[in-house]
Amino acid sequence: LRPTAHVPTRRRVLLGLWQLGLIGLHVADRLRAARLRRSSQGSGLVSVDSSVLAAAATWLVQLQNSEGSFKSIGNVIHTEMMGGAGSSIALTAFVASALAKANTEVPALAVSGLPQALQKAGAFLSGSQSLDTYSGLLRAHAMALSGLWTSLQVADAALAISSATTGRRFWTSS
């Protein structure tokens, strides 16, 4: 992990890229969520400043809409990086997964409203039917990490969006 002194620089770079229209804010959300998740997973192996993780988690929680989804603002120039960006289900599942993982991996994580944010995201995801494989699997993963679904429910959701032919099961990219 990089020293925490670089965090403000990264934040300024992301903000600058967003202001120039080169990335959408949802790309910054995903980067922040990915960094939060990666850092929280490594917290048992290396020293991770929990205040930095708390700042990232707080920023993500503040982007949550009242119905539980997470805001997706801006444009994406490089569409190959979009990965479910058109779906509020995919973005919400991705951010909820990162927040849930950080919540369980880092006991010292003190984020105001985090349990409520996870509950709201879970309620949003529970009431949403994903139309594509990517969003559906992300949704199932987020529900499991949040402790809202059992492994049987996750398996049922994954099987529901799969196809079977001649004894083989597969998932399409649609």
Handedness of CA 99, 36, 78, 64 (dihedral sign): positive
Go through the chain and tell me how many residues it has. 174
CATH of the domain at 106: 1.50.10.20
Going by C-alpha positions, the residue among 101, 97, 93 that lies closest to residue 48 is 101
- Is it the case that residue 172 has pLDDT exceeding 80? yes
**What distance in Å separates the CA atoms of residue 86 and residue 152, rounded to the nearest whole number?**
28
**165 phi/psi in degrees, rounded to 5:** -145, 135
Write out the residue range of the structural domain in which residue 49 sits: 4-170
Q: What is the pLDDT of residues 49-83, one digit of tens each?
A: 777 778 888 888 888 999 999 877 666 555 554 55
In contact, 130 and 139? CB cutoff 8 Å: yes
pTM exceeds 0.85 for this model: no
If one counts the domains in the chain, the total is 1
